[in-house]
Amino acid sequence: MADCHLVAYRNAGFNPVAIASRTPANAQAVAARHNLSAYDSYQAMLDEADIEVVDVAVPPDAQLDVIREIIRYAGKIKGILAQKPLGVNYQQAREIVTLCQQAGIVLSVNQNMRYDQSVRACRKLIDQNLLGDPVFASIDMRAIPHWMPWQERQGWVTLRIMSIHHLDTFRYWLGDPRRVFCSTRPDPRTSFKHTDGICLYILEYENGARASSWDDVWAGPAREGAAADCGIRWRVEGTEGMARGTIGWPEYPARTPSTLDYTNISLGDQWLSPRWDEVWFPDAFAGTMAQLLVALENNTTPAISAEDNLMTMALVDACYLSAKEHRAVEIAEITNG
């Protein structure tokens, strides 16, 4: 929140006004840094602050209870931007969505990889039919994330924290798959008990398209003294063109923009390589808040609606089930369960 959300909001000209934390001293420090009012609790902030939109940045197992409190202020609070994952599983996410629908509060989810510049530009290429019909998409992540302490009590490492970005991006590019096959193993470096360390998965689409990701959060013994070879590369192949790119996030906090190159039949033996200065962290966070504010202003559905995000949550749950039972899982098994 301090280094990404609020930095992006200020840079975009938004008007954040108040903050609360379970540790009031943390809220006070961030408030001083970003010129906000600090409150000792989020309940006090909801009571007293002149706010209409709440950015909920709490661990997933705390989201349901926090959002239950927020909807008591329906009328004053018009919109919520929740972090991913939206709760601990698909069923809880669906409960959160239903609560907000009943309260008349617009709920959106901060799936911010959709606003990484290369990911968004690739979607534009697909929309403009510059790649033809998508045939195959892949993401190859070799990176060592900074895990959060609350993950230990969840027993999660990669699928709900990192892979959820890639699964949501595949949905953003190609739509909803019919089924997924996922294989996982523990990350040797992570000491607490978990199953979803290194994650490999294949998405199958009704139209024949396929997508696959290798989410390697081990990436070799780079932290143990060996040379590092980290990065994220992606690729989309279509019937008439191809796009490839890199994601600059593994270099954060160094500002490293993502990249995109594309070609198609009309270009012949040529790649076009648009470039930009913006980066995923923190700049993309302006996009996720902006799409909610625009939806509220225009009385429209957010670009990343919570209703749509339920399918991303279902896909993540399907990955867990697939890895556990060593079989392909239809997404309908989760949504109809």
Report the distance separating Cα 37 and Cα 30, nearest Å: 9
Residues 144-188 have pLDDT tens digits of 998 999 999 999 999 999 999 999 999 999 999 999 999 999 999
Joined together, the tokens standing for residue 206 give: 């009704």
| Burial class of residue 325 (count of CB atoms within 10 Å of its CB; 0-12, 13-18, 19+) | exposed
Q: β-strand 37-39 against 18-20: which pairing, if any?
A: parallel
Q: What is the per-residue pLDDT across 219-265, written as a single tens digit (0 to 9) for each?
A: 999 999 999 999 999 999 999 999 999 999 999 999 999 999 999 99
Domains of the chain and CATH, by start? 5-112+287-307 (3.40.50.720), 114-280+312-331 (3.30.360.10)
Q: Whole-model pTM?
A: 0.97
Kindly state the average pLDDT of the residues 26-54: 96
The CA distance from 335 to 61, in Å, is: 20
- Cα(72)–Cα(67) distance, rounded to whole angstroms? 9
CA dihedral for 212, 186, 192, 180, sign (positive or negative): positive
One DSSP character per residue, 7-18 reads: HHHHHHT----E
Residue 22, classified by CB atoms within 10 Å of its CB into exposed (0-12), middle (13-18) or buried (19+), is exposed
Give the whole-angstrom CA distance, residue 209 versus residue 204: 6
For residue 60, the model assigns a pLDDT of 96
Question: Average model confidence (pLDDT) for the chain?
Answer: 97
